[in-house]
Structure formats: C-alpha cells, structure tokens
Structure 1
C-alpha cells in the first residue's frame, strides 16, 4: 500500500478526501442518536425511517472514511501516538457502526441503542484526535481559562529553566552551557533525527552536529544566534500541524517547554560546549569501581545490607522483619536448585536451634551440583538461545551447547573462563556464536555474523545492537558502522555494510564494540580474532562484563535487577554503589557465581518480605523504589518440577532425556526435570520461550493461555490423574491424605477451615476424581504458584 500511494496520484487524491468523508459518520450518527433519544422520550416511532437511513449511511461512510484514512496515513508523513490512537479509534468505530446496523436489522432494540451510544462516543473520540493531528494538541484547551497559562517567554527575567545566572543577566557557566546543550540535542534527537541526521537528510539539513546546524539546509540558515524571532527553526516548529512548512512533519508536536527551551538556547547565542560533544544518552562507565563499604548500625554486617541501609535512609524506609524459616527455606530451595523442600527437611530446619542455620542451608544447596546445574540450565538456555529442538537443528544450520553448558554449571566454571569459551569457542561451545542459518533469503541484519555480534553484546555486555544492525540507532549513540565492525570479528570474509537491507558499497572495519578494551587485528584469521576478542572481554578492566552478569543473577533471585531492563546496562541503577561493589567483589573472588549467590542469599536484604507489584510496568519504571524481593511466579520449569515432586511426575518417559543428554545428566534424578526436556505446549503456555532468539527475562504475569492449559491441558491433567490414583492407594483416609498433600505442596499442614473443605472435596472414602480436584485446586493456589 505504501508503494502504491507514493507512486499513483489517484491514491493520493482519494486519501486526501478522508477529512471530508469522515464528517458524514460524525454528523449523521450523532443526529441519529439525538433523534432516537427524542423518539424514546416522546414514545413515538415517527422518525424511525429517517433514523434508520442515517444509521445505514453513517455506517457505510465510516467504512469509506477508514479506508481513505489508511491511504492518507501511508502517503503523508504522519506518525506518533496521536495518529495511532486516531487510527485505531476510527477502525473500532467502524466496527461498532457495522454492529449497530446489524442490531437494528435484527430488531434487537436495546442492543441497537446501546451500540449506537458507544459508536457516537467512539466517533467523537476519533474526531477529537483527528482535530489534534490537523490543528495541534492544544486546539481545544488553548482557548480555555485553564489552558491559558501561556508559554512564558524564556528570555524574560523569570526564566523557567534552571540557569540562575541567566536571570541576573550574567553569562552562562561552562557547566550550564553543557547542560543546556544536552537538553537541546535531546529534543532534536527525539523529534528531528529521523529526518535530519546522517542516516536521512531531508532538505539537505542535518541537526546532529554543531557545524551542520549552523550551516542550515537547502533553504539557507535555520537559526540566527541571539534572535529566536528571526530563526526559521522556531518559526517552523510553532506552525500548526498540517501547514506545509510545519516541523516535525510526523509524530508528536514539540511541547511548549521544548519550544521555549530552544528559544532560550538561541537567545543565549546557541552556545555549544568546547571539545568533544557529550552523549545525549546515558553511557555507563566501562571501568570497574570498588566503593568503600558504608558504616552500618549493629546487626547489619553483610556488605549488601550496608549499601541497602544507605539506600533505605535516603528513601526514608525502615527495615522490615525477615521472613519466617518456612518461607525462607522454600524461597532459597527454588532459587538455588529449582525444587520444593521436602516436609521432613522443613520440619528439621524449623526445629534447628543453630543461629547460622540459614547460611548452612545455602552452602548445602549450592553444594548440590547436579540439582543446581539442572535448575540453572533453564536460565542459561534462555540467555544463550540453546535448545534441544527447533529451527536450524534439522538442516544443520544450528548447533546446541547443552553438554558443554551442563558441565560448566555442574563444575561451577569461573565466569571469565565461561565467557572465554563462549566467544573463542571449542567445538562443544561454538553453537552460541554460530547463530541460526535461516533457510531462504533473510534480512542482512540477521546473517549469522550479525547475530553473533547482537547476542554477544546483549548477553555479555547488556547492550542492544539490534537497531544499529539496520541503521544508526535512535535509542543510543551506536552507529551502523559500529555494529558491522563488531560483526566483522566473527566473519570469515569482510562484510559489506547494508543500511535497512540495502547495500551501501562500503566495507566494514573490524573492531571491538568498546575500543578501550583493545584493538582487534583485522588481518588475523577468524579464530585469532575471536581469541583476541575473548581475552579483551574478560579483562578485569572490563567492569561492564561483570556488572552485567551480577545484575542478571540479582534479577533472577530478587525478581528485579539493580538495573532494568537487564539488557540495557546504560540505564540508571537504583544503587550504583551496590552494583559496582558486587561486580568488583565478584572479580576479586575468582569470578565465582556460587560465591556471589551465597553473598546475596544470606543477606538480610534477600530475607525481607516479598513485595507485590500491581502493575507489571513498575518493574522497568525509572521511579522504581527498592523495598525487597519482588514477588514472582514460578517459571514453567519450576512449576512442572513442583507438581512432579509434590503430586506426580509431569514427565514420566525417561527416553525423552536419554535421547538428548548423556548419562550423567540423569544423575540423582527421581523424575525427568523440565529443564531437560524438549519444549511442548504445556511449557510454552507457562512461559518457556522458543529460544530462536536470546531471552534474558520472562514475564511473571499470569495470562489466558496459562489458565487454559492448567484447566484443560492434557499433560497436566494426565499427571494429576495418575497422582490421584497413587495417593488414593497410599492414603485411604481423607484426614491423612489431605494433611500429607498440604505438607508436600505448601510445606505446612492445612488450616482448620481448609481441612474441612478439602475433606468434603475428596469424600469420606476418597475417590480419584475428588483427589484430582483437590490437587488441582492446591496447584493453582497462590501459595503454590508464587515465590513469597
């Protein structure tokens, strides 16, 4: 459609009829509702014929208006959230109008009137957003008394910006110039770079560098230093949307604050800091840093707690009491080995009088190497996109690293060596950087060398290169040339740079993504380059590598990273000192992940009560305030293993493991662990990704697919049925059966009211169906599904 609208005048002409045609459904449907209300009030049907005609014409014209709107949005430079909302409201209104007609035809009067009301509301909202597109966001509000706050003149005596010297007539300091310039360039980056940068230069105008801004474009200079009123850039951004000269041509209009700030900048002479330009995006330090341990009150000795204590003081938060022994034991079991503790272990732990029993428990669990490896295999399979079946395995275009990964986890391989073997691989570990050789023609940004660059940067460095693999990134300073130069390290032949899948004729260089770490020899063989890269990445001075893995482990056991999202390590951490200390301590202790986990799991911080978040978006909110572990749902594998251990094995066919794994993977395995089996509809519904791409986090939110699988899924129900039969044979009386079920599943006995209800469910003489119903109810209980 886009191609047609750019090349054929008729589509352009029809598209521009949209604003004309769209007034038909707006007017007719509103009048139809008004007449319907009058008729209902008068209890008269005299106007029904006219109303019926208006509804039909309004519905038909809404379809035409929607079609023409789709033509218009493709031919003109519309974009941003306003046009998206307008577009979807228009389509929804069209559907509602059609529904209104159908209800009218069928004679369902109440449904028809209800739909007509909703349709008029929808068409009014769509019209409102259409007006905002053509006349500006403040078209209505600007004439209201509350909307006349007026955009203050930024060059007047009472400047709204935080540059105190400007209000006294004094020149700006170097720091103020730098801060002002950073804000100005941020406005230009988010509103103008899509059309006026090195990637795309409309009207021969670039706004990404000082010299280009001062030079102007094909129409001449765009600003006159000291005179915003004479500057063309100010004139254009103040024009109403729809004007041929208005800028930006697509997306949201600049806010009053942004316009005022640009005016203020030009009034000050459009100052620019001397020397290199500071990035408009936050860039985290590369080097490691070991902050001093802060003082702490009595009873707080763990280094993590000392940093968190400072954080709590800054946010006026008080320490809460730690969780009870049962909650802690279940939590730490699931985090370290992915299994539920047995009732016997729970009772013994609660009765243990030793003051250091929690530390001893963590040591014991970290020493269960097989269980630890089988549990953490899930996390690393997701991150390293390693799986046992799927795209590429049949054609030989993909290689698994399962044996290498399992052995590395079981032996607790130091992380620097772990990374070295992934980047400069042995035959067993080569699958990570080999990528997937897709069948047929693919986008150039998905060739295997670029996949390797993207995956290494994302997983090991917390850096997103996917945007920069097609074009210069709009969310960071990374350029297309940077991504290709990094990908060239993994390539057997020199890569040609493709921009948005189109060859540029330019050959890529060869260099590491952070050049401070070292210089890659572009003339060396591929294996030699990979060895150089691996050695550069694992250097102690690469603080980013170790901050990234520390943040990932923290997020895995605490429900939320110190930095979120975990793949964006340039974001602001909620505690920079804590992150830096953990990373430096990790390196000092031999890059030992289990030692890192011991420090976290024995901290008072980890033992705080879990915190529930009502909105999943709060996880990544920049306003997030840390108060303790974020409550989270069991992963697909944890849930399957919990059901297997508490009730009956989900997977009973050991051959599914034997075909995929060497014999040592079945060590000490009472049932096939879910981390070791191929993906299936049950695990997919519960959140296991397909692993064709890197997956470094899973949603902890329940969804409809999970509900359907846990209600009607064959594999789950078969397991519960088998388990019910076994439990019936073992515990013939309802009292013993219910109590043992509760202890196995929830680590406690049933409460009196729970016991009464459960006994009614299973019956005086327990039946298979009754036991199955009870087990199903317990498995859906929040206390079973969540890590508290």
Structure 2
C-alpha cells in the first residue's frame, strides 16, 4: 500500500496547484465562472493529501529510508496536509483572503515536499546534474573512492596498477552483493557468471554483457538502469543498485573494464591468521596498564578525553557481577568504601578470581551457551546428544589453560565429546545438519569466529568460503568420506579432508578419525594460530565490556576498533600460559574498564562499523544474574537443591546458600529473561528488554512466589518500616535510600509492614534500572 504514495502525490494532490492557477486566472479576469471546479479540486487535493501522508508513513517504515532528506520530505508533506485542510476550512467559511493565502502556502508546501521527494527517488542532483554548469558532465567525481579514480582521468592520465586494483575490487564487491545470488558458480541464471574475469567477459546465453570503453552500449548497464518490474531489469529481486554503484560500473567500463594481473584480491576482508605483537605505546604517570596505553592512543586519534573513573560502589558491583555473577553484600561494600589502600581494586579482582567455585558457576553460563551444552532438551532422551557438564565445570573451576581446553574439545575425551558430536536429529534432516557438518560449523564459529553455515549448503555469498571447504573440514570429523551435497542435492563428488585454514597444517586424510582429530587439535592450539586466541580474547572483552573489539564476535574478519589492542592482548594471553583469569585481571584492573558506562539508544550501534569506543557499554543482567541477584537480595528463586544437575560435584550444595541459576534446567522464567535453548551455538545474548520479559516479571508464577516468600521472611525479620526499607536498598542496590525513595517506600509498605506492601516494594526495586543494569 505504501507504494501507492507516489500515485496519490503525482495526480490528486497536484490538483491543488491547478486550483491555485485557476484561482489566479479568475482573480485576474474578475470572474467566478470556475469556482465550482476550483472548489472540487481543493477538496480532492486536500483529501488526497491526507491519504498521501498516510501512505507515505507506511512507505517510510516498510522500506530502508533514512537521512535528512526523508525527514524533511516527511515533515514538509505533513505540513502540506495540514495547510490543505486549513484551506478547505477557510473556503467553507467564506473567508476568501485567508483561503487564497492558505492555498498559496499549500502549493508552496507541495512544491517543497515534491522537491525532496524527487531527491529521494532520483538523487540529490536530479536537477543540477542536467544543467550545463551542474555536476553531471564529465567523468564521475562523486564522493568516496570514485573520486580517486576519476581524478586520474580528468588529468588525462591512465589509471595506475593500484587504482585499477582498487576500482576492480569495488566493482566485484558490487557484483557480489547484488548479482552473485543468480550469477555465480552456485547458480548460473541465463548462462551468466559474474564471479570471475573470464565469465564476465564471455557473457551469457544472450551474448556479451559489456563493451569495453562504451557503457552506453553495454547490456549490463542497460538492465540495471531499467525500472523495477521491467522484464529485463536486473537484479530481479531485492534492492536496486544505487546511483553511486551504477556510476562506478559505468566508469569502470568506460576505462576499458580493466582487470588487474595476477591473483585476484578477495573482495571480503580476511583477517591475518598469524599472531602479531605490536609495540606498547609509551606509559604516562597515570596510564600504565597496557590496555589503557593502547586506548589512550585511540582516544587521541578520536579526540576523546578520559573521564573520571566510577566510584567504589559502582566498580565493586560491576566487577562482582562480571567475575562471579553475584551482588556484593552490604558488609563487603561498606568495607571496600572505607578501605584506604591505593591498590584495593586490584586486590578485589584477585580475591574474586580466586573464588573458584563462584567463578565456575558464573562463567558456566557463558560456556554452556557457546558450546551448546544444556541439562535437558532435544536429543537427550533419544541418546542423540551428550552433555559435557562435569568436564566443563571442573575445567572452569581449575582454570584450565585455554589451549588444553580447546584441545580436549576438538580431540575429546569421553567427558568432553558432546561438543563435536553435536545433535543426532531424529528423522530426515538437511545435509548441512549432519553431525560432522555441525562439528565443522561449531568449531569454526566458537573457536575461530568464522561462519561456515552458508558454505555448508552452497558457496557462500558473504565470504570466500566454498562448499568444498566446508565439506573438507567436516570430513575431518567423519568416520566415512562425505559426499558433497549442494542445497541438499548430491553432487557425486566426494569431499577432501583438510583444516579450514590450511596454513596451520595438513590433515592426513587416510588416518583414523581419532588420529585426524588429534592432528587438528595440535594444529589449532599452536601459538601461530593467532585467530584462535584473538577470538577468545575478543569474547572475554565483549562479556565484560558489553561490546567486542570486533563485532559481531562470530565474524572475526570484521575490522576491530583497535587492531593493536586486540593483537597485543592475544599475544600476551599466549605468553602468560593461555590463562583466562590473567587476561581478565589485565582488563578488569584497567582504567578503561573503570570508565563510566555508555548507554546506546539504538541496539544496532553495537555492530555498526562507525562505532566509537568510549567505555563499557551498559548492559542488562543475564537471566542467571538476575535470578541470582533476586535470590541474594530478597529471596531464593530456586529453593529445591534437588534440581541442581546430578553431575555437578556434591559439595556445591554445601558451598552456596542457594542453587545458582546456571546449575538448573531451563524453565519459562529463564527463557523469558533470555536464556537460549542451546540446541545451537549462542555466543551473545540481547541486552534489550522485551514484552515476554515484561510479562514474566509482572505475572510470572516463579518470580512472584519468590517475592511473596521473601516478603514474609522480611516482615518477620524487620518489624519496622524504616529499618526494613534501608536493608532492602542496601542488599539490592548497595546504598541508602534517598529521602524521596524512603517516602515512597513508606507509603507502599505502610507504617506497620504488610506482606503485600513488602512484596510490592521488592517488585518495584527489582525492576529498577539500577538493579537490572550493569552500570
């Protein structure tokens, strides 16, 4: 329906302009002969403006429009609608002078809105480009990379090899993102392939698609310029090419469609595999931590200044939640705030990292998500899935070196084999979901930050990885040689056997599966596999800082906001014995970690390439953190210790005052708060609140039962309102209630505390941003 917006705008609303013209003619002739027609036009135009505005709002929300132009067009259109309605009212009331003034204003509004609408449809230069003095003549010299190419031609100089390489890379990038889905090795529609030089020059069933030096004679340019819906228009699906993309393709063909000699450079960014140790920037009097030294350089480059560090209470709560997943007690908070030792924050981090049981129970959640390990669910009943719970818990508690951790996952013992064995689904499944392919996908994603899911079905459209690469890696995990299936159809070709990054070593395809897995593990954990260690460093950084140095954390080929910081942390991680706790100590004791948190209004900014680091990104407590916080501050959500997984060491029940949420099976409460089902890898959770969470925290049985039990216990312990409220605030938020908060709390609880009043207050505090967020 939104696409009808231009139709309404182009004719019925345009009648307002004709009405003004006829009104001017009538006024000049001092005639009223055309008043009936004018009146009809004003009414039709005004009604149409309302319809056009409504359809425009539909259109702007269903298509990818953005920027100042669409904003001006939208508001000028709404203003025009308002003026048109006022014009009708003035006409009906007989106030002719006001009516004529409003009609003039309305037509000006139509013209302004129409101008910006044309800019949206035809580009900012839709008028200037056709004028003799406009930008439309000559070689393209627009913004971006095209300027560098065009500047050479305007000086009557041929493109040099570097410029040809850059131009060709951009051209192939345009083709990859817009054309490969129909014209590549996977799908060759019309006999045309655009993924290699020889195929581009050859053309398709209808002949050549370009004439070097003549974009006006090239069929590819003709087709991409045709209006959507035309039978020859390309692409047939999805978004049309932008004016910039079309201009760049024309420029490329005009230059003779040059192609660089030698091997083609990838159009996708491919991160360096080998480790790299950048030089540490100079320290200053107050900036000595290696993290801070790199961030200081970054801040200088981005003209940012260091902000004051957070106070003791904020830091203690933050580091408690990040290391052990629990709230600090009021007593520890008060002691920390009064501690005068200059190194008390470093000592606090050491103390928390040495709480091995609490550390393991908290970080178990992260690794369960990443290694898709759970205590119940699909595959367990049928024997098609095996957990690694006991192995994982003991590994975390012992702080097993990460290289050994990975080795035991890839070349597993019986206790750790569940990760690469995957889920053996019942019934017929896609070829891309067989257990060997799951192993290839999961190892690549979790350990190497690489997405092989697309390449498990066909050659990837988002990377250089091919179907044969995915099957060759899957074959490492297979007991019998795999046949390659493309889009679930057998090809008759048998897969090779090789590691995903061949620079790391060569797998013996004739060896047994056990021997191949040992080879693979040895190759992956060697220090020269910088990819493995950058990936885990980036994941740990993302967990405690709210955003990875690279985002998304599963796409390690993306640009980091600081390559030097990432590389140094990864190299230092290897040097320090692959010790995750030492890595965390370096990060958690940095001034960078202690900066005030940053709130992002738009969740998409997390993965935006324009992201600028300024400090920890504020985030919501995970489902498990929230449940444990409620249990510690108010009342245990889980009170039955029998629900703790049987495979956990028996001493857990003696070491904690309540069952940690990470130790229990998933349930509707944890699901609503964001815990995944773990049938697939989950390496990050959304920090955005949602409707399901709101409903669970409002009406959820488990949560409200816990609050009710807690209210009864609090009433028995604290019979007076003031003492009760102060203790609630200290346990939940780590501070005294403010005077206004105390006044409100007293009204809720009452002079003589009631169970219902206490429950209401506890519920309100638990939904407070100060409780739900890590600041």
CA contact (8 A) 2:422 2:439 kept: yes
Is the CA contact (8 Å cut-off) linking 1:79 and 1:251 kept in structure 2? no
Q: Report Cα offsets for 1:381-431 as digits up to 9, x if no partner.
A: 000000000000010000000000000000000000000000000000000
Q: Please state if 1:605 is matched with 2:606.
A: no
Post-superposition Cα deviations, 1:353-376, rounded to whole Å, max 9, x if no partner, equal 110000000000000000000000
For residues 296 and 306 of structure 1, the distance between their equivalents in structure 2, rounded to whole angstroms, comes to 6
Structure 1 pair 164/83, CA: closer, same or farther in 2 (3 Å)?
closer
The structural deviation recorded for 1:325 is: 0.5
**2:316 and 2:768 mapped to 1: Cα distance?**
19
- Contact residue 375 and residue 645 of structure 2 kept, 8 A: no
Task: Give the whole-Å Cα distance in 2 for the aligned partners of 1:762 and 1:785.
Answer: 22
Counterpart CA distance in 2 for 1:108 and 1:714 is 64
Aligned-residue offset at 1:250: 2.4
Moved more, 324-333 or 658-667: 658-667
TM-score (norm 2): 0.84
- Rounded to whole Å, the distance in 1 between the matches of 2:65 and 2:363 is 47
Q: Alpha carbons of 1:518 and 1:121: their partners in 2 closer, same or farther (altered >3 Å)?
A: farther
Q: When the two structures are aligned, how many residues end up with a matched partner?
A: 774
Partner of 1:340: 327
TM-aligned CA deviation for residue 759 of structure 1: 1.6
Superposed CA offset, 1:644-686 (max 9, x none): 0011000000000154533144351110000000001110111
Classify 1:159/1:362 alpha carbon distance in 2 versus 1 (closer, same or farther; 3 Å): closer
* Distance change (3 Å), C-alpha of 1:379 and 1:192: same
- Shifted more, 760-769 versus 381-390: the winner is 760-769
Question: Post-superposition shift, 1:561?
Answer: 0.2
CA contact (8 A) 1:133 1:241 kept: no
1:476/1:678 CA distance change after superposition, 3 Å: same
Q: How far apart, CA to CA, are the structure 1 residues paired with 2:748 and 2:58?
A: 60
1:234-276 CA-to-partner distances (Å, cap 9, x unmatched) read 2332333333333222222222221221222222222222211
The whole-number CA distance in structure 2 between the counterparts of 1:374 and 1:105 is: 75
User: Matches of 1:111 and 1:718 in 2, distance apart?
Assistant: 66
Please list the CA deviations of residues 563-599 of structure 1 after superposition, one character each: whole Å capped at 9, or x if unmatched.
Answer: 0000000000000000000000000000000000000
- Measured against aligned partners, the alpha-carbon deviations of 1:127-155 in whole angstroms (never above 9, x if no partner) come to 9999999999999999999999x476439
C-alpha spacing 1:194/1:158, structure 2 compared with 1 (3 Å): closer
Task: Using the TM superposition, give the Cα deviation of residue 88 of structure 1 relative to its aligned residue in structure 2, in angstroms.
Answer: 23
**Bigger Cα displacement from structure 2, 15-24 vs 430-439:** 15-24
Q: Distance in 2 between matches of 1:95 and 1:403?
A: 68
Query: Matched residues in 2 for 1:419 and 1:279: separation?
Result: 30
Moved more, 27-36 or 413-422: 27-36
Range that drifts further, 35-44 or 723-732: 35-44
Residues 30 and 662 (structure 1 numbering): CA distance in 2 closer, same or farther, change over 3 Å? farther
CA distance in 2: counterparts of 1:53 and 1:234, whole angstroms: 45
Shift of 1:177: 1.3
Deviation (angstroms), 1:450: 0.8
1:594 is aligned to: 581
Deviation at 1:203, TM superposition (A): 2.0
TM-score (norm: length of structure 1) = 0.83
In structure 2, C-alpha distance between the alignment counterparts of 1:56 and 1:439, rounded to whole Å: 65
Closer/same/farther in 2, CA of residues 23 and 540 from structure 1, 3 Å limit: same
Instruction: Quickly say closer, same or farther: Cα 1:21–1:601, change in 2 above 3 A.
Output: closer
CA offset digits 1:288-334 (Å, max 9, x no partner): 00000011332100000000000000000000111000110000000
Q: Is the 8 A contact 1:80 1:250 kept in 2?
A: no
Contact kept? 1:59, 1:97, Cα under 8 Å: yes
Q: What is the CA–CA distance in structure 1 between the aligned matches of 2:457 and 2:91, rounded to whole Å? A: 51
In structure 2, distance between residues paired with 1:104 and 1:426: 86
Q: Where does residue 152 of structure 1 map in the other structure?
A: 138
Aligned equivalent of 1:7? none
Give the distance between the partners of 1:526 and 1:466, measured in 2 at CA: 22
* Residues 762/70 of structure 1: CA separation in 2 closer, same or farther (3 Å cut): closer
SS at match of 1:196: coil
Which one of the candidate residues 365, 389, 397 is aligned to 1:378? 365
Aligned residue in 2 for 1:164:
150
User: How much does 1:164 deviate?
Assistant: 6.5
* C-alpha spacing 1:47/1:358, structure 2 compared with 1 (3 Å): farther
Alpha-carbon distance change, 638 to 67 in structure 1, aligned in 2, over 3 angstroms: closer
Q: Distance in 2 between matches of 1:119 and 1:338?
A: 61
| 1:763 to partner: Cα distance | 1.2
Aligned equivalents of 2:267 and 2:665: distance in 1?
45
Q: Which moved more, 1:589-598 or 1:651-660?
A: 651-660
Matched residue SS, 1:163: helix
Aligned counterparts of 1:725 and 1:27: Cα–Cα separation in 2: 70
- Kindly tell me: are residues 18 and 706 of structure 1, through their superposed partners in 2, closer, same or farther at Cα, counting changes over 3 Å? closer
Aligned residue in 2 for 1:695:
682
CA shift, 1:200, in A, is: 1.0
Please list every run of 5 or more consecutive structure 2 residues that lacks an aligned counterpart in the other structure: none
Query: Bigger shift: 550-559 or 260-269?
Result: 260-269
Q: CA deviation at 1:157?
A: 16
User: Does the CA-based 8 Å contact 1:135-1:242 persist in structure 2?
Assistant: no
Alignment partners' CA distance in 2, 1:446 and 1:89: 52
User: 118-127 or 155-164: which moved more?
Assistant: 118-127
Deviation at 1:83, TM superposition (A): 19
* Aligned counterparts of 1:106 and 1:423: Cα–Cα separation in 2: 83
Larger CA deviation: 774-783 vs 591-600? 774-783
Q: Structure 1 residues 50 and 499 mapped into 2: Cα distance closer, same or farther (>3 Å)?
A: farther
SS of 1:663's partner is coil
- 1:167: how far off? 3.3
**Distance (Å, rounded) in 2 between the aligned partners of 1:641 and 1:465:** 36
> Is 1:325 aligned to 2:312, yes or no?
yes
Asked if 1 retains the 8 angstrom alpha-carbon contact of 2:140 and 2:150, the reply is no
Q: Deviations over 1:527-552 (max 9, x none)?
A: 11111111111010000000000000
Is the deviation greater in 476-485 or in 753-762?
A: 753-762
SS at match of 1:503: strand
Q: In 2, distance between residues paired with 1:603 and 1:708?
A: 39
- Over 3 Å counting, the alpha-carbon distance change for 1:500 and 1:29 in structure 2 is farther
The verdict on how the C-alpha distance between 1:29 and 1:166 changes in structure 2, with shifts beyond 3 A counting, is closer
When residues 131 and 300 of structure 1 are mapped into structure 2, their CA distance, relative to the original with a 3 A threshold, is closer
Which moved further from structure 2: 606-615 or 290-299? 290-299
Secondary structure of 1:146's match? coil
- Answer with 189-198 or 596-605: which moved more: 189-198
- Determine the C-alpha separation between the residues in 2 that align with 1:446 and 1:290: 38
Question: 1:208 is matched with which residue?
Answer: 195
Q: CA deviation digits over 1:410-459, x for unaligned, max 9? A: 00000000000000000000000111111111111111111111100000
1:691/1:62 CA distance change after superposition, 3 Å: farther
Comparing 29-38 and 464-473, the one that deviates more: 29-38
Equivalent residues of 2:411, 2:517 under 8 A apart: yes
The change in CA–CA distance for 1:683 and 1:246 in structure 2 (over 3 A counts) is: same
Shift of 1:66: 21
Q: Kindly tell me: are residues 144 and 362 of structure 1, through their superposed partners in 2, closer, same or farther at Cα, counting changes over 3 Å?
A: farther
CA contact (8 A) 1:26 1:120 kept: no
Distance 1:307 1:158, change over 3 A: closer
CA contact (8 A) 2:153 2:159 kept: no
One of 322, 330, 347 as aligned partner of 1:360: 347
Report the secondary structure of 1:658's partner residue.
Answer: coil
Query: What is the root-mean-square deviation in Å for CA atoms of aligned residues?
Result: 6.8
> Is the CA contact 1:93–1:119 (under 8 Å) kept in the aligned structure 2?
yes
Query: 2:71 aligned with 1:84, yes or no?
Result: yes
Are residues 409 and 85 of structure 1, via their aligned partners in 2, closer, same or farther at CA, if it must alter by over 3 Å? farther
Q: Aligned-pair distance for 1:221? A: 2.3
CA deviation vs aligned residue, 1:42-88 (integer Å, no higher than 9, x gap): 99999999999999999999999999999999999999999999999
